[in-house]
Each structure stands twice: as structure tokens, then as C-alpha cells.
Structure 1
Amino acid sequence: MHHPSNSKPLYKPPPQIPQRPQQHHRLPPTSTTSNPSVLTSGPQNPRLNELFDLIQNEFEATGQDGAMWRAQRDEYEQKMQVQINELGLIRQSLYELESQHQRVREHYEAEIARLKRELEARGGSAAAIAGPGSPSRLGESDRPSYPRPELPGSLAGGGPPPLNGESGRSPYPPPAGAGAVSTDRRERPHPTSPPSLLSDLDPENVSRELKKEGSDWFAVWSSQSKKQLDVSLVHTLSHETVVCCVKFSHDGKYLATGCNRTAQIYDVKDGRKVSVLLDETNNRAGDLYIRSICFSPDGKYLATGAEDRQIRIWDIKQKRIRHLLQGHMQEIYSLDFSRDGRFLVSGSGDKSARVWDIEKGQCVVDLRIEDFIHNEHGPIDAGITSVALSPDGKLVAAGSLDTMVRVWNVQTGQQVERLKGHKDSVYSVAFSPDGKTLVSGSLDRTLRVWDLTQTKRAVENAPPGSKDVDKGLGVCQSTLNGHKDYVLSVAVSPDGQWVVSGSKDRSIQFWSVASGQAQFMLQGHKNSVISIDLAKTGNHLASGSGDCMARIWKYEPLDGGR
């Protein structure tokens, strides 16, 4: 029997085990994945909470930095766009100032012309009113300039430039050497001796056999050579602005003209306008004259070169731009397609000619002028005004502002000729059909016929890949004198017998290649004849003028003329 007071208890509690400090307590390995709440709550994870707070703070700071950088980027882009817009406004202002300056200058020249006519009518000397630094001959002040070389009279102001202040007046040329323009043929002085130039002839004093008159045009033939050609006016095509360029299609059925912003295509047979090409995506304000134009040989495409330094290749049927060729740094002044239609040659005021692959829409050859002519002021500007591709496609000829005619080998890109002889800027070049001769027209009022037979032979006989070709083989075969002002455009007839020229004196002249003599002079335009072209199919001549007219003429041999 047990006594409660003397018995030991049946349960003895285990001895007290001291707890480890909490910072040494380790969680089971599965706690971080099986129970995420353990990481974010409870007094046992303050270190982890601290680390997550740091990460969160860094993330927020990084987000704020990113937002700040994005804001700065948007601000810089906005500033760049503002500067681009400002540059556009500055450029437009320069164009407008240039146009305004040109109009003021033309008005000043017109006023000088009027005062000279009044003074001469009273028996005074026209030179008396020429101010300091004024040109001795009226019209010299509208000489083309550069870096934006312009056709005489300038196209910058729009509308027909008042060349010599005579726009809208008589189509007859001024008296030789006087510089003044007579509005009445009765006021023209009669020469005391037979004139040596066709441009000096007064149609009223020419025998009936040597002249032909239309309603607003006339032609006079030289008495010093046999009369071999007849000429007549076929169509007069009115335009809204100056006609800068004219070009026949290769089959002779169509004529393209270029003026301000638009290119027109006419049916040669009936004179009907069949198409108008306008780049409506171009938002440039002010004038945008098309300075050069050319059909592809198959007649499917029309290339146009403009003041905005771009070449547009038009799909004529669809009236849309197939290619936009960019790369020139100055205005495009001349274009010429290769015979196979694969390549296009362009000439620009940036002193370069380029050969473009039409299918790829890319420049494949860049021909640059590097042999600059120098005077006491330094190098003379050599902006290219005209280019021509030889019939066999092997040579490119270019006339430039520095008086030179240069010829390149297309395959090697090497310059093979530099033809020297003109006394002023060369404004037009054209190959003969056989490619053996080249004709150039200059602001020195002359044409020159260059023999390139030796040059062609040297290029053809050069070893493949050779860049060393003898230069200086081209020679001046003849110099054609007869125009009284700048020669702006030249062409060669399909049979190679005739050279045709258009001039600032408003005349068109036909020259015999064999004799170097003028056959006849054609007068009809009331302003400069800026551009001419002869149809490759023969017998048709086109002319474009500052009087906002393009004209189609027909010339044909007389019986026994050949």
C-alpha cells in the first residue's frame, strides 16, 4: 500500500532544452517552395525582406531612369524635326529670294533696253546709259551662272524670260552689233554691202527664191550655196511656261516637251496632246523646271531630269514613276538613253556624268571631271551642261561651263579626250549617226565639228581592261560661225549631212557638214530657242523656246538637192 506522502511521482518531465538563437535556425529545404508565405511573413525572414526591398527599389529606380531617357530621346527627336523644318523653310526662302532677285534683274534689263531704244531713236548713243559695270552688249548680263547655272534669261522666275527685254515683240533678230531690239522692221538699217551671215539678212530685201514666209515665221536661204532643203511649219504647241527641252521618240511618232513641273507628250502627226506627266508627290513650293527629257528606245518609258536633282523614269502608259534615280548634287541638265535601252546617261551641274542601269535603278558608272581649268582666281567651274552617248554606246561626251568638251570610255570610266577650242561655256553636244564626229555649241556663238575617228580607233584597239589610252587624238574639223548670240542646242540629221542649231538670237540654222556653210535660217520663235531635236526617222525638227511655244517643223530635200 502506497502512501501518497512518501511515494514518488509516476511522471517526471524531461529536462528543459535551451533553444538556439533564432538567427541560427534553419528551415527545411522544401520550405522555400512548398510554402512561399514563409519568405514574406513572419519574424523569421527579415534579411530576405530587406533584400527584396533593395531589388524592388533598384527596379523602380531603373524604370524611372528608362522613362527619363525616353523623355530625353523624344525631346531630341522633336528638336531635330524642328531643325529639319527650319532648314526646309530656309531653303525655300533662298529659292524665293533667288526668284525675286531674278525678276528684279530682268525688269532692270528690260528698262535698260527700253531706254536704249528711245535714245537711239533720238540719234543718241546707247552706250551713254550703260551704268558702271554694265555689259557692253545688251543681253550679256543674263549669262548663265553657277552653282545654279541657268539657261539665258533664267527660268527661275517662271514664265517666258524677257531675253533682251523683247518678250512678245517682233520675232526678227536685232540689228548686228547694236544690241537694241526694233519692234518695226522698217526701223532696221539696210546694209550697204551684202551681209556675210544669214542672221544679218533683212527678209524684205531677199529675193523671192531665197525666202519663204508663213503667218508668223520666215526662212531665208544662203546665196553662197546651192539650195537643197525646203522647210515648213507643221504644228505650234502652246505651253503655260517656258519650254526647256524637246525630244522625239525613236519611231518619230511622238514628241515630248518639258516645262515647269510637267512633261507633255504630243502626237507628231496631228499635234494632239496625248499625255501629261506630273509628279503629284512632290510638295516643293515654287518652280520646278524639267531641264532634260528622253524617250527609251522602245517608247515605253520617258526619263525627265529636273531642278530638284532627281531623275524620274516614267511608265508612259500607266503615267506613274517606275524609278526615282538619286545621287546628283546639282540640277540635271541632260539625259541620253543607250540604243538598247538598258542604260541612261545623265549630266549635272555637279561636274559629273552618271551611267544608270534602268532595270536596277542604280548608278553603275560615275564619270567625274577632275582636270579643272584654272585662271588667276583659281579653278574654273566645270558643271556639265550636256551629255551624249555614242551610237555604239562606248563613249560619253560632255560639254561643260569651263569651255571644254570631254569624252569618256564608258567601260573603263577613263577620260579619253579633252577637246579645247571654244572661248566660252559649251551648252550642247551631239554625236553623228556613225559616231565618228561630235558637234558642240557654245556661248561663244559658234559650233564646232570634232573628228573623233582616231579616238574611237584608240579605244577599240586598247587591250581589255587597259586604262591607258592616248589623249588629244580628236581634232576640230570645222568651226561654224553665223549666230549672233549664244548657241544653246545642236543636233545632227539621221543621214549625217546636216547640223542644226538653236540660239538665243531666236533663230534655227541648218548647216552643211560637207561645206561648213549655212543652208538656211529659220525664224519663228519670239524668244530664245532653248532646245531642238531632229527625229531619227528623218524630216521632222522640233524646237522649244522661252516664248512658251514648242514647234514641229518639216524639212525635206528639194528635187535634185542631193
Structure 2
Amino acid sequence: MSSSTIYNHRTLQPTGPPAPGPSQQHSHARLNESFDVIRAEFDAMGQELAAVRTQRDELEKQVASQVNELNIIRQSLYDLESQHGKVRQSFEEELNRLRAELQHRAGPPAGILSHAPSGPGGTVGPGGPPAPPNAVPGTPSGSGPSSYNEPYYQRDRERDRERERDPRERDRMGDRERERGEPREQRDRERDREPRDRDRERERDRPTDQRDPKRLKSERIKTDRPDHFSPSLGPGPTPKLPPPPSSTAPPGVGPGLPPPPVPYPSAGPSSAIDQPPLEGTLVPIGNPANGGAFPDDLDIHAVPADLKREGSDWFAIFNPGVKRVLDVQLVHTLMHESVVCCVRFSADGKYLATGCNRTAQIYDTKTGQKTCVLIDEAAGKSGDLYIRSVCFSPDGRFLATGAEDKQIRIWDIAKKRIRNVFDGHQQEIYSLDFSTDGRLIVSGSGDKTARIWDMVDGSSKVLTINDPDSLNNDAGVTSVAISPNGQLVAAGSLDTVVRIWDVATGQLVERLRGHRDSVYSVAFTPEGKGLVSGSLDKTLKYWDVSGLMPKRGKEGQNGVSVSGPGASGAVVRKDADKSSQCTMNFTGHKDYVLSVAVSHDGQWVVSGSKDRGVQFWDSRSAIVQCMLQGHKNSVISIDLSPAGNTLATGSGDWQARIWSYGPYPQ
């Protein structure tokens, strides 16, 4: 065997990249398939997103449509209430006419409750409520101002009167009613049903305020404390408390003269007959005269033209018991996108700031035009962020806002930018107030503190409430005010106490006790000698603080801690002398008093309430002059212009309104 057969060498030749084989072609195909799958999934997700957006738009349209329907239903209810009032008035007039005719034909029958003399506290007849405490013997039923003041009370007396008539008289009455085609049974059923229908309609017409400020804390206090004077939390109508008993009749009341208008207890499941009376009756403490008490249930249709003022969706009723010296007129209605939590005028009265959900808005008070909207884009977008308080700086350059996120923002209005952010409160901020020189701003929060902030260096002084006797250990600050001289800070609290501090030292100089429920609003008088407070006990109080001077001392600890620049953590207490006293009670609201203000000339005290009304009070006598109704929900905030006769109101009906007031032309 030759070597050539053993070694068979191939000739070496140049080679290139290997030709693609079947495996490489398969990899390319799989990659393309993956791309196709991803593309298909992306297209499907895009279609799904478009469908979701379409569904969202449809839902938003449905929500808007339902909101519009609710507004239409609400307006229909208001129209029905107005029609019901007219029908009720005609029915009452017919009843009064029949009553007068029967009395003229048969003479005054024996046993009429209104002819029986009553003691100071009133007497209870068979099947009826107590007689008026100030009833005068010999006063006929249906005469005097109280005849239109309490028609339901008089219907109860009419039923008692019918039961006590002799059979012959009842037969004569039945014959007359049958001749008129109106059976007595049907009339009795209508009489019994009308008060219940009226109460149900009123409760339906008053939906619960969606953002009524500070409500959760106050309700916790009321559930922990059994108090006959606390407003009822149940769904029933609010009972009316009787006037305090008096052993002597007011001046000017004597035999043959009708008694002054007196609110009586309303019939219903929650009768207030057994409740103790309030301590004030619209007059200064210690003054027995009741000259000009406001009737409790005045019907707008029965009020004389010179004692009322009406608009398309508002009305004002003036107290018939006193001389009318005031006139009120609606100027602007400012619509918002949510509940209006606060309103505040600028120092010159040219602008009005309002706070609602996420925005603070500024309006020209003369034209009603919106001039500025302030919104913090850096704030979180999820959930609500209600602006609880707003306040202009004295020069009008800045607006301070306090919100639920525990921050105070100082806005440069011209630039619409935040100048400062004051952070330190542990709960939402309910109230703000600038000092008259613009150097300091005080804030009140639910964390039981008030803080005094320096606008120049940003420092703060903390005023903490940690009294050992604080009600249920809950003393959140609901309202703050700086005195006109800049020396004192007043704060209303959930624990029913109004506290006053010395601004310079942080020293607690006074505790004002007297309210029976949480204090929601405080305001100094223009000269700084008085302080007005409004409470959930439905009353206002005037406190004389003229003798209160800031004390400069460090005498140990009495539950008030102070910290801040220059304080060195010092602990001080107020002077032992109690120089401030409540000199007047303002009683007349039917529900919580949420906001109070004092006019620039000190003549009027104005209050806003959960009863949807605003009342003007004479600051010298505590007698109500006017009751203003123009909102469909709670009047959460009010303010009076420092520079003119202008009132602003903010409500849970998503509206702020600007009103003018002034002397009534005689």
C-alpha cells in the first residue's frame, strides 16, 4: 500500500462566513413573531384605554346630569315650600274668620285656656302645651302679635276649646261645617297632618352640610357630655326653648294690652318643655325689659311691607318689636365649585377673598368679577384640600390661607406665587388673622394650639392649651382674632372656653367661661374694649375686656406653655384677678352659630348660623334688628367690610354673597 492512499490531503482554499443554516432562520422568525405579539398587545391596550376614556367621559356626563337634576329637584322643593306657605296663609285666614264668626255668634265660652290666669312659668291645660309665661288675664285668643307668631299653638287651643263646648254648640258648628261641604273629620286630619308635613319638608330642605367646619370634633364632645343645652344630633327638628320665667311683666304690659311676642315650645317628639331655659333673652344681662324680642315663626307673607325686604331668592324680615333703622340689599352672588368655607374683605373693602376646595379666589366687591385664583399646583392631587381660612395683609399685597394640609401659605397676590409657607401645626388650620401693622399673623388649629408667626423672620410663638380641666381633653382652636392695638390674641375653642393671650409674652391673661357648647367664632370690637363670641349653643356673648391689660410676669405654670424667639421656653400664668365679664347674651338663632363679626363703626353685631340665616343685632342692647335669609345651606362664614357697609356670606350651598346694609330712610 502506497503512502498516497494513507494520507489524502485536501487543498486549502480561502473561506467566507458560513451560510445561514436552518437554526438561524428559525431564530429570526421567532423574533418577528415576538414583535408582532407585542405590537398586538400594545394596540389592544390602546383600544382598551380609549374605551376607558370613553366610559369616563360618559360617567362624567351622567354625574353632571344627575347633579343638574338634583338642583332642579331642590329648586322645585323651594317653589313647593313657597306655594305651601301661601296655601297655609289662606287656610289660617279662613280659620281666623270662622273663629271670629263663631265667637261673635256664641260669645266667649267657658274654659278657654287663654282666659285662665297663669303663673310665672305658665300652666298646662288638658291636652295642650303650657300657656305663655307672660300671658295677661283677659287677653282674647288670636289677638296681639302672637296670633300670627304661633298658628300651630293656637290650633291646639282651638281643639281644646271645641272639646269643652256643650253638645248644642258642637251640633251648631257641625251643621255649619256640613253646609260648607267640609266635614270636621277631614279638617281635623288636615290640622294634625300639617305640622308633621311642615317639619318633614323643612328637614328635607336642609341637607347636611358636606364640609361644615370642625364638625367631627364638636360632635365627639357632645356625645361624651350629656347637656340639655347641646343641639340635638338626631334627625328630628330642632326644639325651640321656652323663654325664661319672669315674675314681673315687662314695662308697658298691663291688663288689656297684648303681651310682647314670645316664642313658644314647638310640638313634636323632642319637646323642650322639660328643658331649663336659656339665660338670655336678646337683652343685656340684668335688664328685665324685653323690648323688641324677635318673633319666633314669622311668616313672610303675613309680615307688613315696611317690615320686610324681598328679592328673587332671598328676603329680610325686620323685628316688629323695635323701630326699623336698617336696610339690607343683595349686591352680588358669587358661584363656586364647592362649599365656601371662608370669606374675608381686604382692609380697603375693595376685594373679597373666599376659600373653597383647593383654591382661594379674590373678587372685586364693586363689580363682582373674579380677579384672581390662587392654587398650589405642588399640593397632592388626591382627595380634597379645603381652604378653611383666608386673610388679607393690611396693605393688601398678600393673602394668607390655611388649609387641611396643616400649612399656612402666604401668597403674593400680584405674582400669584407663594411667598412663605409656615409649617408647624399638627392638624388642619381653622382661622387666621393679621395684626394691624402686618408684622404678625396668628393661626388657630385643631391641634389645641394658636401660633403667632413673624412675617419678617418666619419665627413663631406657640400658645398651647393643655388645661387639666379641659373638656374631654379636646380643646382644638376654632377661631382666632388679634385686638386692634395688637396686644391681645383671643381664641375660641371646642372646650367652650374663650382664651386671651398677651401677644408680646405669650402669657395667658384671661379665660372667658359661659358658653354651653363649642365656641366657633370670636371677634373684637373696633375700639378693642369688647369681644363677641359665637357658639354651638346657638347664642352669642359680649365680653367686656376693657379692663384687661397685658401682664408682664413669669409666675410659674398654669397649663400654658410658650415657646419661640425670646421666650426661652418660659412658662407663665394669667393674673388671678378676673376683670372680664359677659355683659350681654344674644339669643335667637335656631341652630349653631358658626360665625360672628362686628361692623366697622361698632353699631352692629352680625352672626351666621346653621339655620341658614344671618341676623343683625344692636351691639348696645343685644336686640335683633333684622333676620336675613338667602342661602340654601349653613352660613359657614361671614365678614363685614372694614371700610364700608358691606357684608359677605359664605355657605354650604356653594355660593358666596355680597350684601349692602345701611340706614333705613324714615
Letter matched to residue 307 of structure 1: E
Matched residue of 1:454: which SS? coil
Superposed displacement of residue 148, structure 1: 9.2
Q: Deviations over 1:395-445 (max 9, x none)?
A: 000000011101011111111111110000000000000110000000000
Write the distance in 2 (CA, Å) between the matches of 1:498 and 1:423.
24
Q: What SS does the corresponding residue of 1:204 show, helix, strand or coil?
A: helix
1:201-228, Cα deviation, whole Å (9 max, x unpaired): 1111111110010111000101122211
| Structure 1 residue 520, shift from structure 2 partner | 0.4
**1:269 partner SS:** coil
2:583 equivalent in structure 1: 477
Structure 2 segments unaligned to the other structure (5+ residues): 1-73, 75-80, 82-188, 201-205, 223-233, 238-263, 270-290, 556-566
Mapped to 2, the partners of 1:143 and 1:250 lie a distance apart of 25
Task: Write out aligned runs for 1:88-167 (5 A).
Answer: 123=193, 144-146=214-216
Identity %: 58
Conserved 8 A contact 1:241-1:259: yes
Which TM-score applies when normalising by structure 1? 0.65
User: In the alignment, what sits opposite 1:329?
Assistant: 426
1:284 offset after TM fit, Å? Answer: 4.1
Matched with 1:528 is 634
Give yes or no for the alignment of 1:539 onto 2:645: yes
Q: What is the rounded CA distance, in whole Å, between the counterparts of 2:390 and 2:235 in structure 1?
A: 27
Residue equivalent to 1:155:
none
Q: Which residue of 2 aligns with 1:261?
A: 358
Distance 2:468 2:601 in 1: 36
**1:123 alignment partner, SS class:** helix
Q: Which whole-Å CA distance do the structure 2 matches of 1:239 and 1:143 have between them?
A: 17
- 1:253-306 Cα offsets, whole Å, 9 max, x none, are 000000000000000010000000000011241100000000000000000000
**Amino acid paired to 2:526:** P
| RMSD of aligned alpha carbons | 3.7
Taking the aligned partners of 1:308 and 1:120, their CA distance within structure 2 comes to 53
1:352 and 1:179 map into 2 onto residues whose CA distance is 41
1:32 is aligned to none
Q: Give the alignment partner of residue 659 of structure 2, picking from 553, 556, 562.
A: 553
Q: Quick one: structure 1 residues 544 and 125, their matched pair in 2 at CA, closer, same or farther if it must change by over 3 Å?
A: closer
Q: Normalized against structure 2, the TM-score is what? A: 0.56
Q: Alignment partner of 1:429: what SS?
A: strand
Tell me the alpha carbon deviations over residues 114-163 of structure 1, each in whole angstroms, 9 at most, x when there is no partner: xxx9x999839979x99xxxxxx99799895455989x9xxxxxxxxxx9
- 2:541 alignment partner AA: R
CA contact (8 A) 1:148 1:331 kept: no
Which residue pairs with 1:210 in the alignment? 307
Q: Match for residue 535 of structure 2?
A: 442
* 1:198–1:482 Cα contact (<8 Å) kept: no
Residues 293, 321 of structure 2: 8 Å contact kept: no
In structure 2, C-alpha distance between the alignment counterparts of 1:539 and 1:409, rounded to whole Å? 31
CA distance in 2, matches of 1:120, 1:287: 46
Larger Rg: 1
User: Would you say the 8 A contact 1:199–1:521 is kept in 2?
Assistant: no
Distance 1:164 1:493, change over 3 A: farther
After superposition, residues 378-397 of structure 1 pair within 5 angstroms as: 379-397=472-490
1: distance between equivalents of 2:637 and 2:317? 21
Change (3 A) 1:124 1:515: closer
Q: Provide Cα deviations, 1:447-479, integer angstroms capped at 9, x if missing partner.
A: 0000001113x649999x996634421100100
Listed one character per residue, the Cα deviations across residues 161-187 of structure 1 (whole Å, up to 9, x for unaligned) are xx9799xxxxxxxx985789xxxxxxx
Tell me which of 484, 499, 513 is aligned to 1:420. 513
User: Residues 354 and 202 from structure 1, CA distance in 2 versus in 1: closer, same or farther, beyond 3 angstroms?
Assistant: same
Distance between the aligned counterparts of 1:178 and 1:246, measured in 2? 37
Partner of 2:11: none
The amino acid that maps onto 2:655 is M
Q: 1:371 matched to which residue of 2?
A: 467
Q: How many angstroms apart in 1 are the aligned matches of 2:429 and 2:213?
A: 19
Contact kept in structure 1, 2:481 and 2:522, CA below 8 Å: yes
Matches of 2:468 and 2:443 in 1, distance apart?
20
Matched, 1:404 2:497: yes
**Residue of structure 2 in register with 1:222 after alignment:** 319
The answer on whether the counterparts of 1:462 and 1:469 sit within 8 Å (CA) in structure 2 is no
In 2, Cα distance between equivalents of 1:345 and 1:260: 22
Contact 2:209/2:634, CA 8 A, preserved across alignment: no
Alpha-carbon distance in structure 2 between the residues aligned to 1:309 and 1:146:
17
Summarize deviations over 1:482-526 as a string: whole Å, max 9, x none.
Answer: 100000000000111110000000000000011110010110001
1:374 deviation in Å? 5.0
Aligned AA (1:409): D
Alignment of 1:449-460 (within 5 A): 449-456=542-549, 459=551
Distance 1:462 1:224 in 2: 51
Which whole-Å CA distance do the structure 2 matches of 1:546 and 1:240 have between them?
A: 11
Q: Which residue of 2 aligns with 1:31?
A: none
Q: Which residue of 1 aligns with 2:392?
A: 295
Q: When you count strand as a share of all residues, which structure comes out higher?
A: 1
Kept in 2, the 8 Å contact 1:198–1:220? The answer is no
**In 2, Cα distance between the equivalents of 1:495 and 1:179?**
42
Q: Deviations over 1:89-135 (max 9, x none)?
A: xxxxxxxxxxxxxxxxxxxxx9xxxxxx9x999839979x99xxxxx
Asked if residue 200 in structure 1 is aligned to residue 297 in structure 2, the reply is yes
Q: What is the CA deviation profile of residues 37-65 of structure 1, one whole-angstrom value per residue up to 9, with x for unaligned ones?
A: xxxxxxxxxxxxxxxxxxxxxxxxxxxxx
Q: AA paired with 1:369?
A: I
Q: Structure 2: which amino acid aligns with 1:371?
A: D
Residues 247/434 of structure 1: CA separation in 2 closer, same or farther (3 Å cut): same
Q: In the TM superposition, what are the counterparts of 1:9-20 in structure 2 within 5 Å?
A: none
Distance 1:541 1:203 in 2: 22
Counterpart residue number, 2:274: none
Structure 1 segments unaligned to the other structure (5+ residues): 1-109, 111-116, 131-136, 153-162, 167-174, 181-193
Partner-residue secondary structure (3-state), 1:200: coil
Question: Counterparts of 1:5-84 in structure 2 under 5 Å?
Answer: none
Count of residues in correspondence between the two structures: 401
For the structure 1 residues 521 and 207, does the alpha-carbon distance in structure 2 shift closer, same or farther, using more than 3 Å as the test? same
Give the match for residue 353 of structure 1.
Answer: 450
Secondary structure of residue in 1 paired with 2:548: helix
CA contact (8 A) 1:176 1:200 kept: no
C-alpha separation between the residues in 1 aligned to 2:319 and 2:630? 18
Alpha-carbon separation, structure 2, partners of 1:357 and 1:487: 31
Provide, for residues 336-393 of structure 1, a one-character-per-residue CA deviation record: whole Å limited to 9, x for no partner.
0000001100000000000001122231x11111224356xxx341000000000011
Is 2:207–2:633's contact at 8 Å kept on the other side of the alignment?
no
4+ runs of 1 displaced by more than 6 Å?
A: 119-122, 124-127, 137-143, 163-166, 460-463
Partner of 1:431: 524
Which residue of the partner structure matches residue 187 of structure 1? none
Distance 1:515 1:427 in 2: 22
Between the aligned partners of 1:124 and 1:253, the Cα distance in structure 2 is 47
Counterpart Cα distance in 1 of 2:552 and 2:545: 12
Which AA in structure 2 matches 1:417?
Answer: E
Q: Does 1:252 align with 2:349?
A: yes
Equivalent-residue separation in structure 1 for 2:219 and 2:409 (angstroms):
21
Paired residue type of 1:385: T
Cross-structure match for 1:76: none
Correspondence 1:298-313 to 2 at 5 A:
298-313=395-410
Q: Conserved in 2, the CA contact under 8 Å of 1:138 and 1:179? A: no
Instruction: In structure 2, give the amino acid aligned to 1:227.
Output: R
Aligned residues of 2:508 and 2:574 also touching (Cα < 8 A): no
Letter in 2 for 1:519: Q
Give the Cα–Cα distance (whole angstroms) in 1 for the partners of residues 496 and 504 of structure 2: 25
The answer as to 2:602 corresponding to 1:496 is yes
